[in-house]
């Protein structure tokens, strides 16, 4: 989306763009996630190579699914920053 397209969208002043996505709820069962350390993730099934590359994981105590920030998160952050800049310009008009 470019700035012109963003200006055509109504209600940007009501939009808050969070550029740091958070793991809050499990996408599998919707339970609230816990933040856990790599050692915990390793004991609960995450591969050693993955556990050694990340500082924290999110863990669902209900269905036991684990989450971590893969490489796609950098792409998501870049897109959110672009949207945030466009929203800030649009709300300043
Ligand atoms: Zn779950």
**Does residue 36 fall inside a structural domain?**
yes
Residue 3's pLDDT is what? Answer: 47
Number of domains in the chain: 1
| CATH for 69 | 2.20.25
Identify whether 6 is part of a domain. no
In the reported structure, the alpha carbon of residue 43 is separated from the centroid of ligand 1 by a whole-number distance in angstroms of 17
Flag whether 62 is in a domain. yes
Q: Is residue 4 part of a domain?
A: no
| Spacing, Cα 83 to ligand 1 middle (Å) | 30
Q: Ligand 1 mean position to 73 CA, how many Å?
A: 20
pLDDT by residue, tens only, the chain of 93 residues: 544 455 455 555 555 555 555 668 999 999 999 999 999 999 999 999 999 999 999 999 999 999 998 888 888 888 888 888 888 887 776
What are residue 91's phi and psi, to 5 degrees?
A: -75, -15
Distance from the alpha carbon of residue 79 to the mean position of ligand 1, in angstroms: 27
Q: Sheet containing 57-59: which strands, arranged edge to edge?
A: 34-36, 57-59, 66-67
pTM: 0.61
């Amino acid at each position: 989306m470019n700035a012109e397209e963003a200006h055509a969208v109504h209600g940007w002043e009501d939009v808050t763009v969070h550029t740091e996505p958070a793991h809050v709820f499990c996408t599998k069962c919707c339970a609230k996630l816990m933040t856990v350390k790599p050692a915990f993730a390793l004991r609960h099934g995450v591969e050693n190579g993955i556990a050694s590359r990340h500082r924290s994981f999110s863990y669902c105590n209900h269905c036991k699914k684990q989450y971590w920030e893969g490489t796609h998160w950098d792409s998501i952050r870049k897109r959110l920053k672009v949207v945030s800049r466009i929203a800030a310009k649009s709300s300043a008009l």
